[in-house]
Amino acid sequence: MRKITLVLFAGLFVGALTGQEIEEMQAKSKIAGTPHNLSTAKTEMINGEVLTDYSLCRSCHVPNKATAVEPLWYREGSIARFELNKKLSAPDSHIHPLDPGSRNCLSCHDGSMARTFPHRGDPKDAQVNLTAPEVPAPANYNMHLFNFPASGAEISRPSESSALILTSENEVGCITCHDPHNNEQGNFLRVSDEGSTICLECHHMQNWELSTHGNPQNPLHAGLEEMACLQCHEIHMLPTNAKLLRADENTLCLNCHDGQSDDDTEIPSIHNLEEVFEKPFTHPIRINPNVTGVGYGSETETPWNFGLADDRFVRCGDCHNPHAVTSEDITPVLDGSLAFVKGVDAIGFNKDQVDYEYEVCYKCHGQNQNVKSGNDVARLLSVGNRSFHPIENVGNAAYVPSLKSGWSEQSLITCSDCHGNDDKYGPQGPHGSSVAHILKAPYSDFPFAPIDDQALCFECHDQRIITGDSGFKFHSLHIERAGYSCSACHNPHGSIDSPGLLDLNQAHITAVAGVKIVESHEAGHGSCTLQCHDVKHRSEVY
């Protein structure tokens, strides 16, 4: 009789539940076969219904009438900062308080009862901070528990149809990505992490689907698409770098872009950029301390604030958007490696997305430069000048007879046509060179130099035509007989008040009777009044 009564009660109980409640019970029963089942509970099928021994819940929860250390939880937080049901204050803007629900998870996942967040500093795999090995990252920096930025440009709340859920305060917590009762996706994830699918529920990076990192076309990099975000980011790391990077930005990039694989999980680049950065003249990626808030995605401190910058340094993310970079050129004057990068236009205004390569360079070398005042290149390349190399727009010279085949007076050039690796078979781009000013070929800054030291100019200008006096009838006299260099008379970027890129500000060019000027009457012909190489020219015609 007692057995019949119990069965009847169970039937009445199940019958009293709504379909939704049964569905929730069935969903929660999925915990039975997961690592979160720390009991000997069993799940059975009776009359087609799933019945679970919910004593397994007691691993984390206690019945309402039982005495608990914390409400409905068996275990008190083992670390004070994870104290349950207490909102933690953030000592600075870089540390995000953990919501009570997440601290419930961390009461076990603190390394004593369950697996904890990974930690840096493992002696077997020590991290080297490229910019400052002696500077430790602040604890909990940019921890992956935060509110959403107001801009929402590349990160926003998951859609209503998403399986991800936010905390009661509309923030990200452990339960956003993890369902502690369901391990069907592995790691108790609510959405599969295959190809970082779960990350893309909130993160919407520009050009990611077409980028080299998100959709590699080279078969050697096939594993990169599967690793995706995890190749660079450590989701749970404590303490962590800015943007949850596995290492500081420059070190992280060179871990892969060093032409070799350091471990089984790394997908190496075929280009050895680390070797290029060992050359005598490079962009300064190694000279400054571990400064935060810069590089890709920065909305606060930058090395190109208006006026002089506080310090000189370069992060890979200053020139490259790692989520958008592609091997395909965007336009003839914008390489795919610069896709969707922020920049500065010709007159010094910030741009959310560059259209020309020079707008990336002008972040540091423009009117809001990261150099000494007055040395900005934009001042010399301005289309308002008397003459200029055609970076911002086509040149104003109607006739340039020395141009090699493939170039014309209507051509545009880029900064990297001159600045870049001096090894034409190595990785390209203005990362480093054995030639001063990160130039791709020799170019002498001194007034006197052999003709071989002018090789950079002869990449575009025909040496035979120049020394044959086709454009300027005294070229051969100055170059071959007197031994002058191109820089003795010309500025490679431009001239504010003289034609033909002539630079009259040099010490060996002085005035005659207070006058120092070059006039252009027609292509290749004009007059000059000045003193040079101890010879006075008074309105001398050429």
Pairing assessment for the beta strands 525-532 and 281-282 based on DSSP bridges? unpaired
Q: State the DSSP string of 79-116.
A: SGGG-TT-PPPPSSTT-PPPPHHHHHHHTTTTTTSS--
Return the pLDDT at 43.
53
Give the 3-state secondary structure percentages of the chain, helix then strand then coil, rounded to 5: 25, 10, 65
Name which residue leads in pLDDT, 83 or 344: 344
**Does the pLDDT value for residue 524 go beyond 80?**
no
Name which residue leads in pLDDT, 179 or 58: 179
Return the pLDDT at 436.
93
CA distances from 97 to 81, 86, 152, 445 (A): 9, 10, 21, 56
Percent residues over pLDDT 90 in the chain = 29
**Does the pLDDT value for residue 356 go beyond 90?**
yes
pLDDT in tens, 387-441: 999 999 999 888 888 999 999 999 999 999 999 999 999 999 999 999 999 999 9
- pLDDT band for position 10 (50/70/90)? very low
Percent residues over pLDDT 70 in the chain = 67
Written as six digits, the tokens of 475 are 């070229």
Return the pLDDT at 85.
45
pLDDT in tens, 445-498: 899 999 999 999 999 999 999 988 777 888 888 888 889 999 999 999 999 999
What is the overall mean pLDDT for the chain? 76
Name, in order, each residue with C-beta under 8 angstroms of 96's C-beta and a sequence gap of 6 or more.
90, 140, 143, 145, 146, 147
Name, in order, each residue with C-beta under 8 angstroms of 507's C-beta and a sequence gap of 6 or more.
none
Of 20-24, 68-72, 272-276, the least confident: 68-72
Name which residue leads in pLDDT, 277 or 235: 277
Return the pLDDT at 380.
92
Q: How far apart are CA 196 and CA 323, in angstroms?
A: 13
Burial 374-395 (b: 16+ CB within 10 A, else e): eebbbbbbbeebbbbbbbbeeb
Return the pLDDT at 260.
74
**Does the pLDDT value for residue 101 go beyond 60?**
yes
DSSP state of 55: G
Q: How far apart are CA 296 and CA 199, in angstroms?
A: 18
Name which residue leads in pLDDT, 28 or 178: 178
Name which residue leads in pLDDT, 480 or 77: 480
**Does the pLDDT value for residue 288 go beyond 60?**
no
Of 62-71, 376-385, 387-396, the least confident: 62-71
Q: Mark out the alpha helices in 171-221 (DSSP H runs).
A: 174-177
Q: How far apart are CA 114 and CA 148, in angstroms?
A: 29
Name which residue leads in pLDDT, 274 or 169: 274
Of 32-36, 192-196, 450-454, 506-510, the least confident: 32-36
Helix (H, G, I), strand (E, B) or coil at 256: helix
**Does the pLDDT value for residue 8 go beyond 50?**
no
Quote the pTM value: 0.79
Give the pLDDT mean for 81-108. 56
Q: How far apart are CA 131 and CA 292, in angstroms?
A: 11
Written as six digits, the tokens of 238 are 């404590």
- pLDDT band for position 252 (50/70/90)? confident
